[in-house]
Amino acid sequence: MINAYTVIGQPIAHSLSPLIHGLFGQLTQRRVRYTRTEATSETFEAIVRAWRENGGLGCNVTMPFKEQAHALCDRLGASAARAGSVNTLQFHRDGAIVGHNTDGAGLRVDIERNLAHPIGGARLLLLGAGGAARGVVGPLLDARPASLTIANRTVSRAQRIVQAFEHDPSADPVPLSACALDELPARVAGRGGFDLVINATSLSLSGELPALPEGLFADGALAYDMAYGPSDTVFMNWSRERGARVAGGFGMLVEQAAESFQIWEGVRPKTHKAWGRLQELLNAA
């Protein structure tokens, strides 16, 4: 029997997930078939239900359906309940649709294990307060940074994330704060640079850079861009020029996929064994 999965999004033709999961199937010797499915907000729910009726075991969900996926679940795993969005749907034998969010776990594995950069004890700056930012805050707090600042163009969105997490057990005793992007120069002047800066804005997708101040990075800082592509982003180049170590979000993409695969298939692919092949896939895409 072949276990069938799909990734649902709009647009979806560019998704690397079928290639990544195909490789995971080979690595773990599981018979899996993984396809791409395009949806609209009107067709999304019917597509998920039809996928389940036709014997599929689960789906990944990507932009712009992660909140809609959260709303249709019969049950939520802890990761999805905290994130307020779902990127992994699991169809249980009892018929329930169970939602998970593996983005934050994938980001943590990439930063802490693959890049060997500590999150625990780091002065952490998260740029952006959209769906991706909100989805990773819980797992980042679990790693116990020294502080977490969320800076966003629209400060109210950053404040809403802070409010959502300030009573989370993992936020105790991590100081959490929100600010507008244009308040960053004053923050840096007052408190010094950050040890870890994660760009979760969508600006890299259009080749743009948020307005960032000099002095943003402490010595040895890592600048991590959640966006990924075959070449470095403007944010990565700007950060490297200011002495930071840099990384793009391809590792996060691979590791969140490995977390989803584990939820469905019960085994986590050894991603480091496939790293060379995965990079080839990215470069060829």
User: Where on the chain is the footprint of ligand NDP (CB under 6 A)?
Assistant: 63, 103, 128-133, 152-154, 157, 200-205, 210, 226-228, 249, 252-253, 256
**Coil, strand or helix at 218:** strand
Looking at beta carbons only, is 52 or 129 nearer to ligand NDP?
129
| Of residues 52 and 212, the one with the C-beta less far from ligand NDP | 212
Catalytic entry in 66, 82, 100, 187: 66
CB of 153 to ligand NDP, least distance (A): 3
Our CB check for ligand NDP shows the closer of 52 and 65 to be 65
Residue 154 vs 283, nearer CB to ligand NDP: 154
Q: Minimum distance between the CB of residue 226 and ligand NDP, rounded to whole angstroms?
A: 4
The CA distance from 100 to 73, in Å, is 10
Give the DSSP H/E element, type plus range, for residue 150.
Answer: strand 147-152
CB of 186 to ligand NDP, least distance (A): 18
To the nearest 5 percent, what fractions of the chain are helix, strand and coil? 45, 20, 35
Nearest approach, Cβ of 267 to ligand NDP (angstroms)?
A: 21
Does 273 participate in catalysis according to the annotation?
A: no
Closer to ligand NDP at the Cβ: 145 or 249? 249
Please identify, using beta-carbon distances, which residue of 128 and 139 lies nearer to ligand NDP.
128
> Shortest distance, CB of residue 154 to ligand NDP, whole angstroms?
3
145, 155, 194, 199 from 188: Cα distances, Å = 17, 17, 8, 16
The distance of closest approach from Cβ of residue 54 to ligand NDP in the complex, given in angstroms and rounded to an integer, is 27
Give the residue closest to ligand NDP by C-beta: 130
Active site residues: 66
